[in-house]
Every structure is written in C-alpha cells, then in structure tokens.
Amino acid sequence: VKLGGSIDFSSCIQVAQLALKYRLSKTHPQRIVPFVGSPVNEDEKDLVKLAKKLKKNNVSVDIVNFGEDDLNTKKLEAFITNVDKDGSSHLVTVPAGMGVLSDSLMASPILAGSGGGGSGSDEFGIDPNMDPELALALRVSMEEARMQQQQQTGGGAASTAPMEVDRSAPVDPAAMTEEEQIQWALRMSLEAHQSDQAPSTTPAAPAPEPSASATPAPS
C-alpha cells in the first residue's frame, strides 16, 4: 500500500458538525471523534477559531492523534483547549511504537470516562452517548430474556395477561427518557409475543350444505 495525499481537518470537522445539526434525534449530546493520522496543514489560529465556534454550538470533540504526533500535537492541543467545556473534549496522542491503537484508546478518557465523551460504558461495554440506539436495543433484549426466564422458572410475579396499551395517544420515543423508552419497547415486544402465542379464536367457515334439488332425468 502506497501512502500519500493530505487531509483537510477543518473541512472534515465542519461536515461532521453539519451532519449533527440535521440529525434526527436532538436529545443526545453532539460529539465528533476524528482520527488524525496525517499532518494538519491549517494554522493554529484558524484551528482556534473553529474550536470556539464548535464550543459556542455545544459540540464536543475527542481527537485521536497518531502517526504524525510530532507535527500535530501542539496544534491539536490548542484546538482542544478552546473547544473543551467542563472536560467534555479530549486529545489522545498515541506515539509511534506504542503498540495496538485500540489498547491506547481503551485506557483513554474517550472510552474510560471522566466526564465527557466518554461518559463511561454500560454493562455491555457500550457508551450510550456514542451509540444510544445500540445501547437501548441491548438493554431491551436483556430485559426480555430476564422476563422470559422468570416465566419459565416460575420466579417473580410475571403476569401472563395481555398488557393494555393506549393506542389513542400518539407515541414519540424521541421525547421519552431512556427508562421510558425501555419500558415502552418492552411493552410492545411482550404484547407482540403474547399475540403470537394466543390461540386463534376465528370461527371455522361452515361447510357448504348439499343441494336438495336434483336434476330431472331426461324423458
């Protein structure tokens, strides 16, 4: 593989910010995680200006700096200093020869927590701030499995009656809290499971009665 070319750090950050601006769910914090492995050509002054703009729009940035750390570290440190808001942004510099990049990331504030983009992983090793949909799906699956196990072993107070769902009111999952989303998803899943297992009550179609009239024989 022949290495070459250059990067446009500012343009990449601006495109990412534009994507965040028009994201579907507005309930989760905005965060950009660029991996910088080539020389950053912008001046430090321009990077500081961009960082202040991101901070004004409540966008956090976690930068993984590797490959060209000697050239980029000073510029990226200035960028993080100006975009950081109460420890929400981080710079992780991985010098050459430090082993596997993922090992350095796992031990960094980005994934290990300490207040920002890495607000910490849950019991599945997923950061809900980084991938809220996956984290929610995993928690719902775990609760479903737990409730099914309770029903099979007879433990707990699991009810076998169909759950009532108010379908007259519109449901907006984006307006719910995380716990409300889990409860709503569980209710929908259990209702579908119960309807699949319920015996069919549709009456069988009656068999057609034989005709009482006979065709007269030809004379």
CB neighbours of 182 closer than 8 A, spacing ≥ 6?
A: 136, 139, 140, 143
pLDDT of residue 165: 46
**What pLDDT is recorded for position 118?**
43
Q: What is the predicted pLDDT for the residue at 51? A: 96
pLDDT at 27: 80
Is the pTM for the entire model greater than 0.85? no
- Which DSSP string do the residues of 4-42 spell out, in sequence order? -----HHHHHHHHHHHHHT-S--SSPEEE--EE-S---S
pLDDT tens sequence across 169-180: 566 666 777 667
| DSSP reduced 3-state for 198 | coil
Amino acid 152: pLDDT: 67
Residue type, 4: G
pLDDT (0 to 100) of residue 205: 56
Cα 112 to Cα 103: distance, rounded to the nearest angstrom: 11
What is the chain's pLDDT, residue by residue, as a tens digit (219 residues)?
566 677 899 999 999 999 999 888 888 889 999 999 889 999 999 999 999 999 999 999 999 998 888 889 999 999 999 999 998 899 999 887 777 787 888 778 887 654 444 445 555 555 666 666 666 776 777 677 677 667 766 654 444 444 444 555 566 666 777 667 767 776 776 666 566 655 555 555 555 555 555 555 555
| Phi, psi (degrees; rounded to nearest 5) at 32 | -120, 135
Q: What is the pLDDT of residue 162?
A: 42
